[in-house]
Amino acid sequence: MAKIFAYGIRDDEQPALNAWREANPGVTVEFTDQLLTPETAKLAAGFDAVNVYQQLDYTRETLAALHEAGITKMSLRNVGTDNIDFDAAREFGFQISNVPVYSPNAIAEHSMIQMSRLLRRTKELDAKIAKHDLRWAPTIGREMRMQTIGIIGTGHIGRVAMKIAQGFGAKVIAYDLYKNAEIEAAGLYVDTLDELFAQADVISLYVPGVPANHHLINADSIAKMKDGVVIVNVSRGNLMDIDAVIAGLDSGKIADFSMDVYEEEVGLFNIDWSGKTFPDDKIADLISRENVLVTPHTAFYTTKAVEEMVSQSLSADLAFINGEVPSIAVEY
């Protein structure tokens, strides 16, 4: 009988895990709410594969501990693989999978909701209403259909975001090194990022946090944007030079900003800081601003997405155990 051990299982993931387990009665699935570390790796001893989701790095030490426990098959319940020591993974012969497409709509919808909230200044209005100030002026909004929205990255998520924006009647332009044939045929691509920066009233990011994209949004790129630009980032924190963004907000070059990810989010996001000293002055400053929306890496967090992340990753584990290569295996 195949045996899978899952790490970091949250309460909201347990229904999907139990449903998969019931649909695969020949497989034993046990789990813990603890994350995978060199110390917890021993919990997987006697199992055939592990299933994981965490912001902690999969270091050489962690992978070595799994290897010593007899594990060389690991399925991630998420997209990102940039926190894996692939040199160590190769050395220890690991087979790894991720879940590259679980619900593009979840992330695309979040980005467009936050974009529309910025344009309609809902954070300011909510604060006024909470104080029983029910006057309209001067909190006037803008219409989505009047904006040129620049989409950087036209993969699964970016394409859903484009359709949502077009549904509002907005003009959409896009940039991607790897062009989508349908979008290209529609004439929506610009040739360079500089063109997108110069034309877009709103810029939204849907690209991976690979080294080539590090600090894609920086002082130089912001200088090329329209005055009063709106920026939305639901992709990866390292796409933004946050100091440059703060400077842009201070100068008014950036009118509004929404972020769901942060370069230094590990150890900060997904923790209750109420009643404690908040450890990051930059995020505290951004949260305090009327024209900034901060969410703690929650764009993915919907019931459908969680179900897909759990079920697809467990099925990939089982495929590895059965000597198969799942379609979501990571090539490295």
Question: Is residue 149, in this structure, part of any structural domain at all?
Answer: yes
Counted domains in the chain: 2
| Residue stretches of the chain with pLDDT short of 70 | none
C-alpha 235/C-alpha 213 separation (Å) is 11
Query: Domain of 73: which CATH number?
Result: 3.40.50.720
Residue 112 lies in a domain: yes
Residues 137 and 12 in one domain: no
Q: Please indicate whether residue 184 is annotated as part of the active site.
A: no
Pairwise CA distance, residues 122 & 284, whole Å: 19
In a domain, 264, yes or no: yes
How many DSSP H helices and E strands does the chain contain? 12, 11
In a domain, 329, yes or no: no
Whether residue 239 sits in one domain with residue 125: yes
111 and 198 both lie in a single domain: yes
Q: Are residues 134 and 28 in the same domain?
A: no
- Do 85 and 109 share a domain, yes or no? no
Q: Is 157 found in the same domain as 290?
A: yes
Instruction: For residues 37 and 151, state if they share a domain.
Output: no
Using H for helix, E for strand and C for coil, what is the string for 201-267?
CEEEECCCCCHHHCCCECHHHHHCCCCCEEEEECCCHHHECHHHHHHHHHHCCEEEEEECCCCCCCC
193 and 55 belong to one structural domain: no
Considering the candidates 109, 110, 159, 265, report the single residue annotated as catalytic.
265
Give the pLDDT score at 54: 87
Which residue range(s) make up the domain with 163? 104-294
141 and 267 share a domain?
yes
- Say if residues 255 and 228 touch (Cβ distance below 8 Å): yes
Q: What is the pLDDT of residue 227?
A: 98
Two tokens, residue 46: 């006697």
- 46 and 146 in a common domain: no
Asked about 331 being catalytic, the answer comes back as no
Task: Judge whether 69 lies within some domain.
Answer: yes
pTM exceeding the 0.85 threshold for the entire prediction: yes
Residues 130 and 213 in one domain: yes
For residue 328, tell me if it sits in a domain: no
Q: Where does residue 269 fall: left (phi above 0), alpha (psi -120 to 50 degrees), or beta otherwise? A: beta
The residue annotated as part of the active site, out of 121, 159, 297, 308, is: 297
- Residue 224's alpha-carbon distances to 3, 68, 251, 253, 321, in angstroms, are 54, 52, 14, 10, 51
From 159, 236, 307, 308, active-site residue: 236
Q: Which helix (DSSP H) or strand (DSSP E) does residue 2 occupy?
A: strand 2-6
Catalytic, 67? Answer no
